[in-house]
Amino acid sequence: MDAKTVFFLCVIVAASGAASPPVSLAGGIVFGLCFAHPYPAESKRIGRILLQGSVVALGFGMDLREVLRAGRSGLVYTALGVMVAMAIGFLLGRILQVGNRPAFLISAGTAICGGSAIAAVAPITKASDEEMSVSLGTVFILNSIALLIFPLIGWRLHLSQEQFGLWSAIAIHDTSSVVGAASRYGAAALMIATTVKLTRALWIVPLSLGTAAVKRSDSRVQWPWFIGLFCLAALLNTCLPQFSGVTQSLSHLGKLGLTATLFLIGSGISRATLKQVGWRPLLQGILLWIVVALSSLWIILARLIS
């Protein structure tokens, strides 16, 4: 079979729910490494839209009161974690002699929400296509690893649903991988992880505005409107329990959409991407990710946040 046929078959399998999120992501990576992607640009664009729509749909399966409680629990650490991760990331970039723009983009992607943060601030910093590709490639590679190993670590350490949800929201880059890992761990972990992650994603706005001010750029800030729609969906689910059948169906569609999104993300990792990333930006991303993951896990286990 040619690449187009394999691609469409894999998308259908992922969207049907026949494959779990980790299997879907792994299948995407295998496809990207074995075939020349027939629709690289379209896949990225559709994947971004599908991710946002899936997150909104997942809101229909959540109770707004629990959403607000989970959001408050991670708010303080999120603010502190974003600033510390940015500072450490930039320092690592200097030590490893990574260019200023890629180092900043990788730090932003790790500190906030992966590819979404990179896509938001890259035009403001006037990053080149190559610098953006290197940063996105680094984050996507680490996302793939996180989605596969985080649930295993959580089970090994006997993390509670709340602990794992909070940890994954803080330590995994992209929203899609956070939701994928948490959905594998449990329903309660999924709710907490999604809420805290979206709270963290709101930092795209101040980071973009701050970067624009420093760079004196007039580039348009990309506002994460889908977060507001997620909260609206949770509000409708909470206030209209008589429509639970409809809202649960929409939530299920969101999970299927997320699984398809993970395949599209994985399919964007090719051999060319791996070569283009290079060892310095990848090492910066790995070291920063390890620092964020271990420090946040220690804080959660020490019950310094709850």
User: pLDDT tens digits for 240-267?
Assistant: 888 888 888 888 888 888 788 878 877 8
Within 10 angstroms of residue 93's Cβ, the number of other Cβ atoms is 24
The answer to which of 98-102, 212-216, 263-267 has the lowest mean pLDDT is: 212-216
Total structural domains within the chain: 1
Asked if the structure places residue 216 within a domain, the reply is yes
Asked if the structure places residue 89 within a domain, the reply is yes
% the chain with pLDDT above 90: 13
Asked if the structure places residue 95 within a domain, the reply is yes
Q: Which of 112-116, 148-152, 232-236, 274-278 has the highest mean pLDDT?
A: 148-152
* Amino acid at site 6: V
Within 10 angstroms of residue 216's Cβ, the number of other Cβ atoms is 6
Predicted confidence at residue 231, as pLDDT, reads 77
Asked if the structure places residue 265 within a domain, the reply is yes
pLDDT above 60 (res 305): no
The answer to which of 69-73, 84-88, 273-277 has the lowest mean pLDDT is: 69-73
Asked if the structure places residue 66 within a domain, the reply is yes
What would the mean pLDDT of 68-97 be, rounded to a whole number? 79
Predicted confidence at residue 159, as pLDDT, reads 93
What confidence tier does 301 reach under pLDDT thresholds 50, 70, 90?
confident
* Lookup result for tokens 């729509």: 53
Burial of 189 (0-12, 13-18, 19+ CB in 10 A): buried
Predicted confidence at residue 158, as pLDDT, reads 92
pLDDT above 70 (res 20): yes
Predicted confidence at residue 219, as pLDDT, reads 60
Asked if the structure places residue 172 within a domain, the reply is yes
More confident residue, 158 or 174: 158
Question: 49: domain range?
Answer: 3-301
Predicted confidence at residue 77, as pLDDT, reads 66
Helix (H, G, I), strand (E, B) or coil at 35: coil
What would the mean pLDDT of 33-56 be, rounded to a whole number? 84
Asked if the structure places residue 45 within a domain, the reply is yes
Asked if the structure places residue 7 within a domain, the reply is yes
Residue 100 CB contacts under 8 Å (≥ 6 apart), including other chains: 93
Predicted confidence at residue 70, as pLDDT, reads 61
Q: Residue 225 corresponds to which tokens in the numbers above?
A: 């409107």
